[in-house]
Amino acid sequence: MKIITNEKLISRNKKLSQYALYGALAVLLLGFILTFNNPDTSEIGWAYLILIPGYILVQVSIHLGNKWGRSPRPDEIVSQSFKGLDDRYSLYHYTTGVPHLLIGPAGIWIIKPYHQSGQISYDSQKKKYQQKGGANIFTKLFSQEGIGDIEHDSRLLRKKLQKYFSKLSIQNYAEPKTVNVFYSEKVDVKANNAPELTLNANKLKNYIRKYSKSNPAEQEMIDLIKKMLPD
């Protein structure tokens, strides 16, 4: 398998996550100092005006740290999940219109990695994904541990990829497919009834291999698309 990764983007965002963390800690520290050193409660509002931006910076730093600062990063986990696929497959990290894109005999796949834990299922009546267990409510709200609106995210990514292909004048390609990949060791995926393929990271490679045998992509189309993408 060929892996094409935007290393410059990863390095830049990793530094950005560190700067955001340092900035958040500095702002929070300043806010606490002003709070404890100011006995006049009528002026304590100024301290909160500092603490609020500090809190926002904390959330930004957590999000950036989860995505760029920790190792293995999502791109590394996706690459490891596909380890063993032959060179007919190309895996693109942060070089196309979507973060993770696989192109090969199984067609075009948008890969969406999730680090969340707990039991992941799909409620057919409510038509949405659900997460039970895993992180507590506080962590889900303030540390990006909730799964969010998975289908909405997928629609946005498909539009971004379509726009990207359009800029490259890539036409007449098969509809890209989406797979939601959960890689936490503490996740239990039970979403066979979901409208999108949703599975554990350790099952991803075998699924793609089987899919390529039962639904092989047009090789000429695949080769043409890969020639037009970053190498």
Would you list the domain boundaries of the chain?
2-69, 74-228
CA dihedral 136, 137, 143, 147 (to 10 degrees): 90
Output the average pLDDT for the chain. 88
10 Å CB burial of residue 20 (0-12, 13-18, 19+) is buried
pLDDT at position 187 is: 94
How far is it, in rounded angstroms, from Cα 128 to Cα 145? 17
pLDDT(215) > 50: yes
Residue 3, SS3 per DSSP: strand
Structure tokens of 121?
A: 């299922």
pLDDT above 90: residue 26:
no
Q: Which amino acid is at 31?
A: G
CA angle 131-129-75, nearest 5°?
Answer: 80
Lowest mean pLDDT among 130-134, 205-209, 222-226: 130-134
Please write down the long-range contacts of 158-163, taking CB distance under 8 Å and 24 or more positions apart: 158/110, 160/97, 160/98, 161/96, 161/97, 161/98, 161/101, 161/110, 162/97, 163/97
Q: What pLDDT sits at residue 145?
A: 59
Output the pLDDT for position 38. 66
Q: Are 218 and 174 in contact (CB under 8 A)?
A: yes
pLDDT surpassing 60 at residue 143? no
Tell how strand 177-182 and strand 118-123 pair up: unpaired
For residues 30-34, average pLDDT: 74
User: What are the phi and psi torsion angles at 211 (to 5°)?
Assistant: -65, -40
pLDDT at residue 31, as a whole number = 74
With a pLDDT cut of 90, the percent of the chain lying above it is 65
pLDDT of residue 223: 94
What pLDDT, in 10s, does the model give residues 9-24? 999 999 988 888 888 8
pLDDT band at 48 (very low <50, low <70, confident <90, very high): low
Instruction: State mean pLDDT over 145-153.
Output: 86
Burial grade of 37 (CB within 10 A; 0-12, 13-18, 19 or more): exposed
Kindly report the number of other CB atoms within 10 A of residue 100's CB atom: 23
pLDDT at 163 over 70: yes
Note the pLDDT of residue 147: 85
State pLDDT tens for residues 59-101: 777 778 778 888 899 999 999 999 999 999 999 999 999 999 9
Helix (H, G, I), strand (E, B) or coil at 4: strand
pLDDT at 128 over 70: yes
Q: Quick one: pLDDT at residue 131?
A: 92
